[in-house]
Amino acid sequence: MLYGTRLRSLSLLTAVTLTAGFGLAFFYAPMDADQGFMQKIFYVHVPLAIVALGGFVFGGVMAVQHLRTRDARYDLRSYVAIHLSLVLGAGVLITGSIWAKASWGHWWVWDEPTLVSFLVVFLLYATYQPLRFSIEDPERQARYASVFAVTAGAFVPLNFLAVRLAQAYTHPRVFATANGGLPAKMQLPFYLCLIGMALLFATLWKYEMASKHTSAQLRSLRRKLGGDDAGATHGRTAAPSLRTSS
Amino acid sequence: MRRTVAAVLRKELRLELRAPQAVPAMALFSVTTLVVFHFALQRGQVDGDLAAGVLWVTLLFAAMLGTSRLFVADHEEGGLDGFLLAPVDRTALLVAKALALLGFLAAVEVVAVPAFALLLLGPTPDPGAVAALVLVLLLADAGVAIIGTLVSALAVQTRARDLIVPLLALPLLIPVVIAAARATTPLFLAGGSEAVPARWLAILGLYDLVFGLLAYAVFDYLVED
């Protein structure tokens, strides 16, 4: 399967959507009455968080497929999705922290349930890579990583429920749900940013998949030319290695 | 299925009775942790949410100790291979191990909870509060046992076994900690215990149910070879 196709058009679409979304967020969307300019971080933070969580769930779904079919490609898809979501997740925590500092005066606020849940999920998924690293056998590594991805995927909603309930009182949630408390003029930029961020995730995912496939093919070609030693991977990696039959 | 579970469970309990390893270590660890809490908090007595926190941190960390050893003997002595060769359902291993861990946790709590009440807890709980505490402990232990068995089976095949178990299990158990700590706080109030809010018991039950089903679904993939 080719992942390199239509990468250019997807990248362009992502760039256009994100630029338009951020442009509208800055020039079209009204200033927030309470928080002023600082509220603009909402257009980065919330789409990032939604896309990162979606990526974790997507990784879990791919892991289910991997366990069912035993196809190593699903493991690679799950790995790339979780790995990308972790990177985005770090962005979510940083932007959330900046927003908390700006609007509540503290870098970290424990009674903001969504952010706390996200930290717990992030900490859990941060063990995905160490887990992969500590299993030698590639087949077992893939299988165990998938079991982890399925378990963690099911954990995400339950954790959000528990943390949300644990707040005796919640902060006045201006943006309780994406379409609940949001004024109409904020909705359009927000959804555009959300779509842009999802496209960004898809683009990066496709890039990494294409890169992984290409290097796997390169390796197998090298092996054909120069014997088994030529195809050895350099450096330490826990990424699933595909055996391409080219 | 039931006979297999009973056989594996009997083997686990007999092993622990003949050469006690997990339970004494966990019990000793929890009492030591209580002493550490006394000095670290610089308090002679705790109540309310602080008491609930101390109790759950102690029990959870003690559980981590037993969890990381759960499959080690089977892995090293070839018990897993023997089990896989037998023509039985693999789920039986999950159920038996989880029940064994539940039994270990209950045995540890028989020591740790009275020790906690004696050493640190300020208010003396009345019988009703004790009954409610037993219910919360049981529901929380079921969750810890399920997650512990799953994580332990996952970690036993890895190189960094003892590092992976707490790293995986603690974030997964945070909902249990939230619900259990919230549920036990009213029992330890200085002005006399109050009723346990039902929704935290419901959360614990929901957690046990979801992860019980999930563990049932994925466990087969962990004991394949």
Chain B contacts of A121, Cβ < 8 Å? 171
B residues 200-219 near A, CB within 8 Å? Answer: 203, 206-207, 210-211, 214, 217-218
| C-alpha triplet A73, A77, A81: angle, nearest 5° | 170
User: Least CB-CB distance to A162: which of B157, B178, B222?
Assistant: B178
User: Least CB-CB distance to B167: which of A127, A140, A146?
Assistant: A127
Cβ-proximal residues to B127 (8 Å cutoff; 6+ apart), any chain: none
User: Least CB-CB distance to A124: which of B157, B172, B178?
Assistant: B172
A172 pLDDT exceeds 50?
no
A144 to B174: CB separation less than 8 angstroms, yes or no: no
B residues 25-54 near A, CB within 8 Å? Answer: none
A residues 56-115 near B, CB within 8 Å? Answer: 67
- Determine the pLDDT at residue A30: 77
Exposed/middle/buried for A185, CB within 10 Å: 0-12, 13-18, 19+? Answer: exposed
pLDDT in tens, A78-88: 999 999 999 99
- Determine the pLDDT at residue B140: 95
- CB-side exposure of A68: number of CA atoms within 13 Å? 7
- Mean residue pLDDT of chain B comes to 90
Exposed/middle/buried for A137, CB within 10 Å: 0-12, 13-18, 19+? Answer: exposed
- CB-side exposure of B124: number of CA atoms within 13 Å? 2
| C-alpha triplet A63, B175, B157: angle, nearest 5° | 45
- Determine the pLDDT at residue A231: 54
A37-46, A148-157, A176-185, range with the lowest pLDDT: A176-185
A 10 A CB-CB count for A195 gives 18
Could you tell me the two tokens for A115? 């952010």
Mean pLDDT for A116-145 is 89
A151 to B172: CB separation less than 8 angstroms, yes or no: yes
- Determine the pLDDT at residue B214: 92
Distance separating alpha carbons of residues A95 and A92, to the nearest angstrom: 5
Q: One digit per residue, pLDDT tens: chain B, 225 residues?
A: 889 999 989 998 998 899 888 899 999 999 999 999 999 998 888 888 899 999 999 999 999 998 988 888 888 888 888 888 888 888 899 999 999 999 999 999 999 999 999 998 888 878 888 899 999 999 999 999 999 999 999 888 888 888 889 999 999 999 999 899 989 988 888 877 788 888 889 989 999 999 999 999 899 888 876
Residue corresponding to tokens 């035993």:
A70
Interface test with B, best of A65, A74, A127 (most B CBs within 10 A): A127
Could you tell me the two tokens for B124? 């003396």
Q: Could you tell me the pLDDT band of residue A232, with boundaries at 50, 70 and 90?
A: low
- CB-side exposure of A83: number of CA atoms within 13 Å? 20
Chain A contacts of B171, Cβ < 8 Å? 120-121, 123-124, 127
Residue corresponding to tokens 């499959």:
B71
Q: Does B14 reach chain A within 8 Å, measured CB to CB?
A: no
B121 DSSP β-pair partners? B46
Q: Above 0.90 for ipTM, yes or no?
A: no
Helix (H, G, I), strand (E, B) or coil at A245: coil
Chain A contacts of B158, Cβ < 8 Å? 131, 134-135, 144
A168 pLDDT exceeds 60?
no
Q: 3-state secondary structure string, chain B?
A: CHHHHHHHHHHHHHHHHHCCCHHHHHHHHHHHHHHHHHHHHCCCCECHHHHHHHHHHHHHHHHHHHHHCCCHHHHHHCHHHHHHHCCCCCHHHHHHHHHHHHHHHHHHHHHHHHHHHHHCECCCCCHHHHHHHHHHHHHHHHHHHHHHHHHHHHHCCCCCHHHHHHHHHHHHCHHHHHHHHHHHHHHHCCCCCCCCCHHHHHHHHHHHHHHHHHHHHHHHHHCCC
| B179 → chain A, closest CA residue | A162
Could you tell me the two tokens for B90? 């693999």
B residues 182-201 near A, CB within 8 Å? Answer: 182, 199
A 10 A CB-CB count for B141 gives 25
Chain B contacts of A155, Cβ < 8 Å? 172
- Determine the pLDDT at residue A181: 62
Q: Does B164 reach chain A within 8 Å, measured CB to CB?
A: yes
A180 pLDDT exceeds 70?
no
Q: Does A207 reach chain B within 8 Å, measured CB to CB?
A: no
Could you tell me the two tokens for B93? 């291993």
- Determine the pLDDT at residue B101: 94
Q: Could you tell me the pLDDT band of residue A107, with boundaries at 50, 70 and 90?
A: confident
Q: Does A161 reach chain B within 8 Å, measured CB to CB?
A: yes
Q: What's A31's DSSP letter?
A: P
pLDDT in tens, A133-162: 888 888 888 999 999 999 998 888 888 887
| C-alpha triplet A75, A80, A84: angle, nearest 5° | 150
Q: A182 versus A54: which is more confidently predicted?
A: A54
Chain B contacts of A86, Cβ < 8 Å? none
B217, B154 Cβ separation under 8 angstroms: no
Could you tell me the two tokens for B102? 């539940």
Could you tell me the two tokens for A212? 């992984």
Q: Does B127 reach chain A within 8 Å, measured CB to CB?
A: no
Mean pLDDT for A34-41 is 76
Give the relative orientation of helices A113-125 and B161-172 as an angle to the nearest 10 degrees. Answer: 160
pLDDT in tens, A200-230: 999 999 999 988 888 888 888 888 887 766 5
Give the relative orientation of helices B174-184 and B161-172 as an angle to the nearest 10 degrees. Answer: 50
pLDDT in tens, B141-191: 999 999 999 999 988 888 888 888 999 999 999 999 989 998 998 888 887
